[in-house]
């Protein structure tokens, strides 16, 4: 896919930060880690990756706004455009030596996500999309959501809330309703990659609560451009604003979202 100038900047930033993270991942046992919250860690590698991405993105587009997990929000001279960045989605996996984590970069224009990149450096898989131009992996693999239409054949992904998360009871009830209806549920610890895997047909759907905009901004666009459907769990909510999301291919979305929304919280 021949991307825009902005997309090429995003791809370059993701790869550069990915090289830094891979280097640190090889020495994960030596990383100094500080506690940021219950079950939520931030490492030197995380902060360094964000700095690399910020230097690349803001160096190329200094008037854009900035929102990132570690560095917070900075308004830009251009109020219509904003970078939304998670430099390391799957930090707990990273710190435990599990090779399943990603960089997520999105570009927002007038409140809409117009470009998205999710990069898995451990597997060298780059998922990306621009609004209206489809979704892709690496240089030439066009992404499409799965064609499965029976729940019993489908695999879904979610995040199981950890210590301090208030939505654990709701998620356990979700699992009790969904697992008897499908071929399996996976919890791999990276919402960004969960969405990328829905877009590529590896998963048939995904749902989760208590997410942040930087977890899912890029992924929602990639799923939509791959032909998937994206919605909120609660009525009146928007995934990017409210942090609850349900997504699946078109054939399964109605039944799957009905099961997820039955609890309603």
* Residue 263, pLDDT score: 60
Burial 61-89 (b: 16+ CB within 10 A, else e): beebbbbbbbeeeeebeeeebbbbbbbbb
Is-contact 228 248, C-beta < 8 A?
yes
pLDDT in tens, 203-226: 999 999 999 999 999 999 999 999
* Residue 45, pLDDT score: 87
pLDDT in tens, 56-115: 999 999 999 999 988 889 999 999 999 999 999 998 899 888 999 999 999 999 999 999
What does the DSSP 8-state code read for residue 28? Answer: G
pLDDT in tens, 141-157: 999 999 999 999 999 99
| Other beta carbons within 10 Å of 195 | 34
């Amino acid at each position: 896919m021949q991307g825009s100038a902005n997309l090429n900047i995003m791809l370059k930033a993701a790869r550069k930060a990915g090289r830094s993270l891979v280097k640190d991942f090889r020495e994960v046992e030596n990383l100094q880690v500080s506690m940021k919250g219950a079950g939520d860690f931030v490492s030197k590698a995380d902060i360094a990756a964000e700095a690399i991405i910020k230097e690349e993105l803001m160096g190329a587009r200094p008037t854009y706004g900035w929102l990132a997990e570690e560095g917070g929000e900075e308004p830009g001279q251009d109020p219509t455009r904003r970078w939304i960045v998670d430099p390391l989605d799957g930090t707990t996996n990273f710190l435990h030596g599990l090779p399943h984590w990603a960089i997520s970069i999105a570009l927002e224009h007038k409140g809409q996500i117009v470009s998205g990149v999710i990069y898995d450096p451990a597997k060298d898989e780059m998922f990306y999309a621009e609004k209206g131009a489809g979704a892709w992996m690496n240089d030439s693999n066009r992404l499409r959501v799965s064609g499965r239409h029976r729940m019993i054949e489908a695999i879904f992904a979610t995040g199981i809330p950890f210590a301090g998360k208030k939505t654990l009871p709701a998620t356990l009830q979700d699992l009790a309703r969904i697992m008897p209806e499908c071929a399996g549920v996976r919890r791999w610890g990276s919402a960004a990659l969960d969405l990328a895997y829905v877009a590529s047909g590896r998963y048939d759907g995904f749902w989760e609560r208590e997410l942040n905009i930087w977890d899912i901004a890029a992924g929602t666009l990639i799923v939509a451009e791959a032909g998937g459907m994206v919605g909120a769990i609660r009525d009146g909510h928007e995934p990017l604003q409210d942090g609850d999301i349900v997504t699946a291919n078109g054939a399964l979305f109605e039944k799957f979202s009905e099961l997820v929304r039955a609890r309603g919280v």
